[in-house]
Structure 1
Amino acid sequence: MITREQAFSLIKEHVTNNNIVKHMLALEVLMAGVYDELEKKGYTREELGGTKEEWMMAGLLHDADYCENVPMEEQGIQITRWAKEKGYIIPENVAYAMAAHNWHNTKTEPKTLMDWTIFMGDSLTGLIVAAALVLPSRKLAEVTPQTVLNRFKEKSFAKGTRREDIQTCKEKIGLSLEEFVKISLEAMQKISADLGL
């Protein structure tokens, strides 16, 4: 499988917006946090749809093709092609999850726990960052799960957040909204320096 170092070489080559890089780092750790929780709950690797490393790689690379020259219906798919051109191996389940994160455009519907987590986590990371940015300190350390849940209820806050998709977390990945938010926030807080928050 592609290494993290190889993944970063692709990111450096194709991603010029540092905020997108931070978003990918956030989704990488969110994926790790959710994987750990689901594994604790007894889900098998087959049910999870991959290894922890595969979950993290899908999160890290999912937006590495988010740029002007890639149409939205290819975003999440083109990165796999670029990786193959470099001789990097992206497992099928990782490629599928990356395409599924943008399924409203790619028409690649999420199937596994990994697919659903990346799809919902993609939007949740943005809400968590927005919740930090409106604080005077702009620090993730001061954001609580309740802060995020309160902001989640405010439809006018971070309007681009796909709340209706995130709310399917209990049905799709077996975590309540409260659990999903807590796990995601705590994972992101661990890398707050990398996120500039």
Structure 2
Amino acid sequence: MNRNEAFELLTEHIKTKNLIKHCIATEALMRKFAKHFNEDEEEWGIAGLLHDLDYEYTKNDPALHGLKTVEILGDSVSDSIKNAILAHCGKKRRETLMEKVIYATDPTTGFIVASALIRPEKKLEPVDVKFLLKRFKEKSFAKGANREQMKSCEEFGMELEEFFEKSLEAMKEISKELGL
């Protein structure tokens, strides 16, 4: 499956505009980290783009989240993509680098969006790593963004500061697409 086919599939199954943006943002982060680790950018990007493919079907039944995506995908993607999708939502133990990275990036996109939206400009451009680190310490800020999950970047040898730096760069590169 190529990126265009993956995007078509995403928009066939996801109708919520902000959820599509979240998937696009996760794709951007996954591509950025694939490049950083000299991994397959296309494969990692597709994993990020499709990681929440079943969300609108499973939002009221989280036990099925990820499992339904793997069912929808069938044999159209590699096992490593399917395993990353399962790992992002805790349906399998994180073993590979891609599985560890997608787990950490998933909540990070929402955290960065929330950081941009509290700025007067409501844009990503003025957000910097120092601002993200400060907000990260505020437990009441972006409560839905799991801090432990973001900190799991240490599992792949990256400190939170560097992880935020690369994540923010990736999202700024697609800021127009995100409307930020």
List structure 1 segments (4+ residues) > 2 angstroms apart after TM superposition: 68-71
String of CA shifts for 1:151-183, please: whole Å, max 9, x gaps.
Answer: 11111100111112222312x111111100000
Instruction: Quote the Cα distance in structure 1 between the aligned partners of 2:103 and 2:123.
Output: 25
Does the CA contact (< 8 Å) of 1:35 and 1:55 recur in 2? yes
2:52 aligned to which of 53, 59, 63: 63
Query: Shift of the alpha carbon at 1:69?
Result: 5.0
Shift of 1:38: 2.3
Contact kept, 8 Å, 2:11 with 2:20, in 1: the verdict is no
Residues 27 and 49 in structure 2, CA contact (< 8 A), matched pair in contact too: yes
Q: 1:147 aligns with which of 107, 123, 131?
A: 131
Offset of residue 37 of structure 1: 1.8
Q: Distance in 2 between matches of 1:169 and 1:134?
A: 25
Mapped to 1, the partners of 2:158 and 2:27 lie a distance apart of: 18
CA RMSD of aligned residues (A): 1.4
Q: Which moved more, 1:119-128 or 1:73-82?
A: 73-82
The question of 1:93 aligning with 2:80 is answered: yes
1:131–1:65 Cα change, 3 Å: same
Aligned to 2:175: 192
CA distance in 2, matches of 1:38, 1:12: 29
Q: Please report how far the alpha carbon of residue 54 of structure 1 lies from its aligned counterpart in structure 2 after TM superposition.
A: 1.1
Match of 1:179 in 2: 162
Q: Which ranges of structure 1 fall in alignment gaps of 5 or more residues?
A: 40-44, 46-50
Which residue identity lines up with residue 132 of structure 1 in the other structure?
A: A
Find the aligned partners of 1:33 and 1:69 in 2 and give their Cα distance.
28
Does the C-alpha gap of structure 1 residues 98 and 139 become closer, same or farther in structure 2, counting only changes over 3 Å? same
Distance 1:151 1:73 in 2: 30
Matched positions, count: 179
- Normalising to structure 1: TM-score of the pair? 0.86
Q: What are the within-5 Å matches in structure 2 for residues 20-39 of structure 1?
A: 20-39=19-38
TM-score scaled to structure 2, two decimals? 0.94
Gaps of 5+ in 2: none
| Cα pair 1:101 1:115 within 8 Å, conserved | yes
Aligned-partner Cα distance in 2 for 1:126–1:119: 13
Residue 2 of structure 2 is aligned to residue 3 of structure 1: yes
What does residue 136 of structure 1 align with? 120
Q: Partner amino acid for 1:3?
A: N
Identity %: 41
